[in-house]
Amino acid sequence: MSRIGVFVCHCGENISRTVDVERVAKEAGEIPGVAYSCDYKYMCSDPGQNLLKKAVAEHNLDGALVAACSPRMHEKTFRKAASAAGLNPYLCEMGNIREHCSWVHEDREEATAKASDIVKFMVERVKKGKSLAPITVPVTKKALIIGGGIAGIQAALDIADAGHQVVMVEREPSIGGHMAQLSETFPTLDCSQCIMTPKMVDVANHPNITLYTYAEIEKVDGYIGNFQVTVRKKARSVDESKCTGCGVCMTKCPKKKIPNDFDQGHGMRTAIYVPFPQAVPNTPVIDRQNCTMFQSGKCGVCQKVCGPGAVDFEQQDTLTVESVGAIVVATGFKLYSIERKPEESAIQGYGEFGYGTIPDIIDGMTFERLASASGPTGGRILRPSDGKEPKQVVFIQCVGSRAREKGISYCSKVCCMYTAKHTMLYHHKVHDGQAYVFYMDARTPGKGYDEFWRRAVEEEEAVYIRGMVSRMYQRGDKIVVMGSDTLVGVQVEIEADLVVMATAVQAQDGADLLAQKLGISYDKYNFYSEAHAKLKPVECATAGIYLAGACQGPKDIPDTVSQASAAAAKVMTLFAKDQLERDPVVAKVNEKYCVGCLACKKVCPYGAVEEREIRDRQGNLVKVVANVNPGVCGGCGTCQATCPSKSVELDGYTDEQIMAMIESL
Amino acid sequence: MNAKAEKIRVASIDPSYYQAVTDAIRTEAVKLLSEEAVVAVVGYLPGRRTGTAVPGLVTTPEQAQQLIFSPACVNNLSLYLTKAKKGVLKKGKVAIIAKGCDLRALAGLMGESQVKKEDIYTIGIACAGVFGADSNRSGGLSEASIARKCRECTVHQPEGTDLLVGTLPELPQLTPLEAEELARLEALSPEERWAFWKEQFAKCIRCLACRQVCPFCYCEQCLCDKNRPQALESSPRPAGNTAWHIVRAMHLAGRCGGCAECERVCPMDIPLNLLNRRMAMELKELYDYEASTVPQEKGPLTRYQEDDDQSFIK
Amino acid sequence: MTPGKKNLLTYSYYPGCSLHASGREYDISTQALFKALNLGLKEVPDWFCCGATPAHNVDELLSLSLCAKNLSLADQVEGDLAVACAACFSRLKTTQHHLKEDDTKRHQVETAIAGPASLGKPVKHILEILARDFGLARLEESVKKPLLGLKVAAYYGCLLTRPPEVPELDDCEDPSIMEDILRALGAEPVKWSHRMECCGANFTLSRPGVVLKLSNAILTSAQEAKADCIMVACPLCHGNLDIRQESINKYGTPEGSLMGNIFGSDYIPGSEDGARREMPIFYVTQLAALAMGVPTDKLGLESVIVDPRPLLYEKNLL
Amino acid sequence: MHAEKLQHEFEPKIVAFVCTWCTYAGADLAGTSRMQYPANVRVLKFPCTGRIDPVFILRAFQKGADGVLVSGCHPGDCHYMAGNFHARRRFAAFRALLGFVGVDLERLQFSWVSAAEGGKWVEVVTELTEKVRSMGPMKEFKALENEEQWSGALNTPELREAFESIT
């Protein structure tokens, strides 16, 4: 027989005005298993809490029900008090007779009857309750950063500076990401590489950071505090430990006309290459698809000229397993292209712009490379088709963005600002040139942003035309841009020498595949989903994984850096303790009855359920059952409602507790 | 079963069809066993009384010569891979004879990790239909003797088997009695439907044959046997019976393959498959889900879409 | 149709008003082409106007009902519904699309036409029939007199492919079906800029100035691309490009300015060098039938304004 | 000051199964805003609608509920991301099943009530209470509870005697 104490609160007059608290307390005392009941003016006050503590001791209570306000208000208070009195906090519950009763009903008789009912079924709940202990999970104080762009770099440096180990994995041969490609940055027009490259070097030199470039995530196991991550280091064909970065191999490589992705295909590189001179690490990689040695077996010049003997044609991919406690995903974005898309694709290209077949229609990143001092034109604005300096440049915003008919409805956020920047850069470099901008809205929320935009319009003589472009075609060496000026209400036709499109920011290729490996969710555009749009903007719903930068949605550099530092702060919070404590309201599997249908695994929003093999002493497989990882379980209980045999049970909300409540109604 | 069926008797299915299927099964079973591609074949053997068949497990080529297929092969053999003969699969790969409806159960069991695709070899049957429970089997398979489920079968020619045997004879168009009965019940008022089911469930003696024969009732502890807490009253009283059948139908929703074995074995002739059919209809309409002969990763009630129907929610 | 000779494919046929009036050549050449390709074509009995572009601007229900009624009439004739006019094609397809999507509208329309709306009948443009049903390979094989040396600007206009979810004829902004057909016929399609631009369509009566401006841009573009002629698949496009050519040519002159003033246009077009050759405008069926060896007197070549015969003569095609 | 309270012949018993994050909080808000609604409802708290087993609804009806309300977070608002999406499918199916065995679905209400929708909570509870009140008691399950079984299908004197002895 239980020994439960029931404490009915008056809440001043808030409850007692409409509920006969004395009668509720008296009736509670008559419920089987209730050993003590009383009413008190303010249960939450110190004397009230002491009353509870004293009763637990004096009456040897094994459960407590405080009938008062909403548990959302004071459950923690009373559980703490119960705990102080030696009662397991999860055996102390609250009956909500204020918000759900006295405040919403006027009739004293009805309200009192309802309050008594609430006490009755909550007592049943306490009776069937179990002592629960907080779950502790050990924490490996090492973080994995996926992506070596500005987001990953910022997060890595913050965490490493705090004294924790960091592993950074970058897919490309060098870290730096998109920011390393930019010419100048808004709204200050400072040189991107000047502020970026020192940070890249910091990463390379930081004693707490292990850097894997030209590497990808192969597999992720484990859970918060305890991830095991398998990293595939792709064969670089150059031994990083031997290479001194002298670059002789590159100067001697006979294959010199390979379009360089870093320059958006407009500059050329060799088959053994570093993507750009300031690359970190400054170790070349052999592009095997374009290397004569790999394609025909003849050449090997780079190997011959390499002093330290670092070139290794036999090198294979290697797999490394890293144990980490937290993961920051910072995989960035890619730019939309107007090319024709496969028929089944939800996103369409721009046939009206010629599907990318007109050479002098370029995207914003290509313009960045043209404008960059380290770019293929040495910073001169020269158009791709014939290398002439364009005198009329049309910039088009929202290409692919906010274009529901093309399959993307979101705003890419950075284009208004960078297009304004482009018009300025153009104006600074081609004094007799004219920039036109087709735009829908100028969106410039940010410190100094609108001022910057106004400068482009008012001082730098960019002509802004509010309207869309309907068609572009080549006429002679000009591109005819047909559009509308919706403010004036006329059709506009401009003969441009160069067109720069602000194409949409999209999730990286393979973002969905990485998400599946990590067990995090993503939206229909493959941007990763944060746990809460407002209150948990850097956390994933999967515990221990955090987001930084444009992989979560289009972002500019300041926002990206802020989010990266925020993610780093979250990681450091996690690493501040050796053990992670979690609310014990989690699901447990009864392995005796579980038959391993894994319906629970299918519905679990957290990916907390995995398969577990049960073997006999000889090692023979007896059966496969579900196993809930308490470190990952969020405690929703969807598994239990789904399990046909109820072999998985959510602590704190067991079937026994709920059935007992229903029976008592 | 039904006066209408008695009247419009159609010509029986030509016995040579069954012989051809039987021969094909034997040939394949002998081949599989003698090549040791499988350790056993789960199939049908002749029953002691003529014209009957019983499920059987054969392990030698000689025994395989006894395998048959006839309209009396009513059982859903997928059951023999999990509950009744759980050890079978541990010895090695097993071949199994499966009609279309049985194959859907097998696919379901694979989706629920109870059977691994690589552990079994499915010999599918292009099935013309089987006898109904308590039907007169003397005249072969005819409209009078065919099972109600077979009248509106959509998997005569199952897909996704390792081998498909038999060539379907021309099948007569039969009135869909079960669909008609469903439509009749749907057209009733809630009170009338309640009265119908009340009478049906009142008959239940809780022998649980429906559970025992169901390929999907493979739980080691059934909810109805659980007593802490007791979710379902276990004695055969109307209240508990009703709850049992509702819970059973709910647990099968989105999983049931429509073999209607539950209905066949019910000693009290409760039309249990109507419940299963009704749930299947609902899931088809709401989520465009149909039980498939090909294993699915998730069922309709273990996945969702953000834009699922919610017209019933305020 | 020769009795006893079985047709490869049979179509019901909705010519539309234009093909019985200003676009008769399109009708004549379509019939001749189908006969030459051994394709059956049976006109829908008692068909009437689809409402074209004006009706749906005024009364949506009316425009849908007109087409729905025509579609149900078409149901009486066997075969997919062949449509030659881009506007009729667009309206009939739009109607099917809307009524499939919207039960309320379908109900209203069915009440209006006192019968079920036929939404299942495949409505096909002549281009689709030639390139897909009949097939480009077979089309190429059937050619008796390839249109060698003829440089053609294929002109789609605005309705054939738009909006993308309705006609489903080809890529909405970058189609190739007309060029594909031209290549099969042995002609040389030119690359040009204005193949998807609007000709002014039904402004032809209310705002001819607009038509002159738009059509002029199209003609200029074709000329710049060194095309010998333009191929169209719509009687309205044909009308604007063919009938208006004389006015367009005069447009730069004092006479033309006067006309421009009368029509209230603020735009004085005209080619830069002031010299414009006359640009013959062909229907796709005319060129195809010509390539199939249909006698030239059965193509309606004589009844268009810009006489194409000198060009054909020059290219040895007559 | 208060209007004379209407006396009803029948006061239905309404059981509400709600999730703690949205609807329970919404009901709290109705309280802090001092809104008024019928006192017939008894609220049982769950972490998520995903935890609510159809068996609970069945059990509530069996144990005398005249109406059942199931309420949780709006789609997309689930604290556990997807619990309510799974619940939505589960209840769509269960509702169809109950309807098919003849339960009047007017007695079973589902709703999304967010933590900000105190007004909606009041509206949903009031509407269901009044609807069920006008329908009268849920007789079907209560009648079953009181019935002993014997269909008469197997009619032997022994069975009849045994049955009569227990009823």
Q: Does A338-506 match A587-663 in CATH topology?
A: no
Looking at this protein, which amino acid is placed at residue B221?
Q
Supply the pLDDT for residue D7. 72
Which distant-in-sequence residues (6+ apart) come within 8 Å of A99 by Cβ?
A: A69, A70, A73, D27, D28, D30, D31, D32
Which class in CATH covers the domain with range A338-506? alpha beta
Give A-chain residues touching D46 at CB under 8 angstroms.
Answer: 637, 653, 658
Structure tokens at C183: 């290549």
DSSP C306: S
Residue D142 sits at the chain B interface (C-beta within 8 Å): no
Supply the pLDDT for residue D151. 59
Distance (Å, rounded) from C-alpha D50 to C-alpha A642? 8
pLDDT band at D146 (very low <50, low <70, confident <90, very high): confident
CB spacing of D47 vs A650 below 8 angstroms? yes
Supply the pLDDT for residue C252. 54
Out of A100, A585, A663, the one facing D27 most closely (by C-beta) is A100
C97 touches C64 (CB < 8 A): no
Out of D98, D99, D151, the one facing B202 most closely (by C-beta) is D151
Distance (Å, rounded) from C-alpha A260 to C-alpha B73? 69
Question: Tell me: the pLDDT tens digits for A343-360?
Answer: 888 999 999 999 999 999
A280-307: b (≥16 Cβ within 10 Å) or e: bbbbbbbbeebbebeeeeebebbbeebe
Looking at this protein, which amino acid is placed at residue A55?
A
pLDDT band at C271 (very low <50, low <70, confident <90, very high): very low
Give B-chain residues touching A619 at CB under 8 angstroms.
Answer: none
C165-201: b (≥16 Cβ within 10 Å) or e: ebbebbbbbbbebbbbbbbbbbbebbebbbbbbbbbb
Within 10 angstroms of residue A158's Cβ, the number of other Cβ atoms is 22
CB spacing of B308 vs D93 below 8 angstroms? no
Instruction: Count how many residues are written for chain B.
Output: 314
Out of B186, B283, B304, the one facing D82 most closely (by C-beta) is B304
Between chain B and chain D, the number of residue pairs with CB atoms below 8 A apart is: 128
Q: Where are the beta strands (DSSP E) in chain B?
A: 40-46, 53-58, 94-98, 120-125, 163-165
Give D-chain residues touching A661 at CB under 8 angstroms.
Answer: 44
Using only C-alpha atoms, chain D has a radius of gyration, in whole angstroms, of 19
Shortest CA gap A350–chain C (Å): 7
Give A-chain residues touching D20 at CB under 8 angstroms.
Answer: 72
Shortest CA gap A651–chain D (Å): 11
Supply the pLDDT for residue C117. 86
Structural domains present in chain D: 14-165 (3.40.50)
Supply the pLDDT for residue A278. 92
Tell me if the pTM is above 0.90.
no
Give D-chain residues touching A665 at CB under 8 angstroms.
Answer: 13, 15, 42, 60, 63-65
A198 touches A175 (CB < 8 A): no
Angle between helices A415-429 and A364-371 (to 10 degrees): 30
Supply the pLDDT for residue B84. 57
CB spacing of A475 vs C193 below 8 angstroms? yes
Which distant-in-sequence residues (6+ apart) come within 8 Å of A376 by Cβ?
A: A260, A263, A266, A267, A268, A369, A370
pLDDT exceeds 50 at position D1:
no
- Asked if the bond preceding B169 is cis, omega within 30° of 0, the reply is no
Burial class of A620 by CB neighbour count within 10 A (0 to 12, 13 to 18, 19+): exposed
Q: What's the Cα-to-Cα distance from A143 to each of A323, A327, A546, rounded to whole Å?
A: 9, 6, 11
- Asked if the bond preceding A281 is cis, omega within 30° of 0, the reply is yes
Angle at B286 between CA B284 and CA B289, to 5 degrees: 35
Interface of B with D in 286-305 (CB under 8 A): 286-287, 300-302, 304-305
pLDDT band at A410 (very low <50, low <70, confident <90, very high): very high
Mean predicted confidence (pLDDT) in A148-160: 98
A122 to chain D: closest CA residue: D44
Distance (Å, rounded) from C-alpha A459 to C-alpha A451? 11
Shortest CA gap A105–chain D (Å): 6
pLDDT exceeds 80 at position C260:
no
Out of A103, A603, A661, the one facing D31 most closely (by C-beta) is A103
The whole-angstrom distance between residue A16's C-alpha and the CA centroid of its chain comes to 49
A66-80: b (≥16 Cβ within 10 Å) or e: bbbbbbbbbbebbbe
pLDDT in tens, chain B (314 residues): 444 444 344 457 778 899 999 999 999 999 999 999 999 999 999 998 888 899 999 999 999 999 999 999 999 999 888 875 566 777 889 999 999 999 999 999 999 999 999 999 999 999 999 999 888 887 788 888 899 999 999 999 998 899 999 988 888 888 899 999 999 999 999 999 999 999 999 889 889 999 999 999 999 889 988 888 888 888 788 889 999 999 999 999 999 999 999 999 999 999 999 999 999 999 999 999 999 989 999 999 999 998 999 999 99
CB spacing of A642 vs D90 below 8 angstroms? yes
B225 to chain A: closest CA residue: A645
pLDDT exceeds 60 at position C275:
no
B284 touches D106 (CB < 8 A): no
Shortest CA gap D45–chain B (Å): 18
Out of D100, D109, D149, the one facing B314 most closely (by C-beta) is D109
Distance (Å, rounded) from C-alpha C300 to C-alpha C317? 15
Question: Tell me: the pLDDT tens digits for A335-344?
Answer: 999 999 998 8
CB spacing of B229 vs A597 below 8 angstroms? no
Give A-chain residues touching D43 at CB under 8 angstroms.
Answer: 96, 100
CATH topology of domain A142-234+317-332+519-575: FAD/NAD(P)-binding domain (3.50.50)
Distance (Å, rounded) from C-alpha A354 to C-alpha C106? 38
Supply the pLDDT for residue B7. 38
Shortest CA gap B233–chain D (Å): 10
Mean predicted confidence (pLDDT) in A132-158: 95
Q: Is the pLDDT higher at A73 or at D1? A: A73
Which subunits have 3 or more CB–CB pairs within 8 Å of chain D? A, B
Out of A351, A474, A475, the one facing C174 most closely (by C-beta) is A351
Which class in CATH covers the domain with range A4-134? alpha beta
CB spacing of B202 vs D58 below 8 angstroms? no
B47 touches B89 (CB < 8 A): no
In order, the DSSP letters of B151-182 are HT-S-SS-SS-SEEE--PPP------HHHHHH
Give A-chain residues touching C193 at CB under 8 angstroms.
Answer: 473-475, 480
Question: Tell me: the pLDDT tens digits for A486-514?
Answer: 999 998 999 999 999 999 999 999 999 99
Sign (positive/negative) of CA torsion D110, D114, D115, D120?
Answer: negative
Question: Tell me: the pLDDT tens digits for A12-53?
Answer: 999 999 999 999 999 999 999 999 999 999 999 999 999 999
Give D-chain residues touching A98 at CB under 8 angstroms.
Answer: 31
Residue of D49, D77, D89 to mutate when probing chain B, most B C-beta within 10 A: D89
Domain ranges of chain A: 4-134, 142-234+317-332+519-575, 248-305, 338-506, 587-663
* Residue C109, SS3 per DSSP: helix
Supply the pLDDT for residue B5. 42
Structure tokens at B196: 């119908």
Out of D35, D45, D53, the one facing A641 most closely (by C-beta) is D53
Supply the pLDDT for residue C263. 45
Sign (positive/negative) of CA torsion A273, A279, A282, A288?
Answer: negative
Distance (Å, rounded) from C-alpha D165 to C-alpha B180? 41
CB spacing of B302 vs D86 below 8 angstroms? yes
CB spacing of C172 vs A475 below 8 angstroms? no
Which subunits have 3 or more CB–CB pairs within 8 Å of chain B? A, D
A39 touches A82 (CB < 8 A): no
B108 to chain A: closest CA residue: A597
pLDDT exceeds 70 at position C63:
yes
Q: Where are the beta strands (DSSP E) in chain C?
A: 9-14, 39-43, 80-83, 123-125, 151-154, 188-189, 229-232, 281-283
Structural domains present in chain C: 9-124 (1.20.1050.140), 144-314 (3.40.50.11810)
Distance (Å, rounded) from C-alpha B129 to C-alpha B148? 10
pLDDT exceeds 60 at position A67:
yes
Shortest CA gap A247–chain D (Å): 51
Residue of A473, A474, A491, A493 to mutate when probing chain C, most C C-beta within 10 A: A473
Residue A350 sits at the chain C interface (C-beta within 8 Å): yes
Which distant-in-sequence residues (6+ apart) come within 8 Å of A393 by Cβ?
A: A381, A426, A433, A434, A435, A436, A496, A497, A498, A499, A500
Nearest by Cα to B194 from D16, D89, D138 = D138
Interface of B with D in 176-235 (CB under 8 A): 185-186, 190-199, 202-203, 223, 231-232
Q: What's the Cα-to-Cα distance from D23 to each of A630, B109, B308, D28, D119, rounded to whole Å?
A: 26, 37, 21, 8, 11
Looking at this protein, which amino acid is placed at residue A485?
D
In order, the DSSP letters of A287-332 are -TTT-HHHHHS---HHHHH-TT--B-TT---EEEEEEESEEEE---
DSSP D147: P
Distance (Å, rounded) from C-alpha B181 to C-alpha B147? 15
Task: List the beta bridge partners of residue C176.
Answer: none
Average pLDDT, chain B: 89
Out of D25, D34, D63, the one facing A663 most closely (by C-beta) is D63
Interface of B with A in 212-241 (CB under 8 A): 218-223, 226, 228-231
Mean predicted confidence (pLDDT) in A564-588: 94
Structure tokens at B251: 């647990």
A405 to chain C: closest CA residue: C164
Angle at C209 between CA C207 and CA C214, to 5 degrees: 105
In CATH, what number does A587-663 get? 3.30.70.20
B251 to chain A: closest CA residue: A644
B109 to chain A: closest CA residue: A597
The whole-angstrom distance between residue A178's C-alpha and the CA centroid of its chain comes to 18
* % of chain A with per-residue pLDDT over 90: 89
Structure tokens at A163: 């004294």
Quote the longest CA-to-CA distance of chain B. Answer: 65
Structure tokens at B54: 């019983």
Angle between helices C254-263 and C208-224 (to 10 degrees): 130
Average pLDDT, chain C: 86
Angle at B77 between CA B75 and CA B83, to 5 degrees: 115
Supply the pLDDT for residue C9. 86
Question: Tell me: the pLDDT tens digits for C90-128?
Answer: 999 999 999 999 989 999 999 999 988 889 999 999 999
C225 to chain A: closest CA residue: A475
Question: Tell me: the pLDDT tens digits for A514-542?
Answer: 998 887 888 889 999 888 778 889 998 78
Structure tokens at A505: 């920011």
- Kindly tell me whether chain C and chain D come into contact, counting contact as 3+ Cβ pairs under 8 Å: no
D58 to chain B: closest CA residue: B243
In order, the DSSP letters of A213-264 are -SEEEEEEEEETTEEEEEEEE---SB-TTT-----HHHHH-S---EEEGGGT
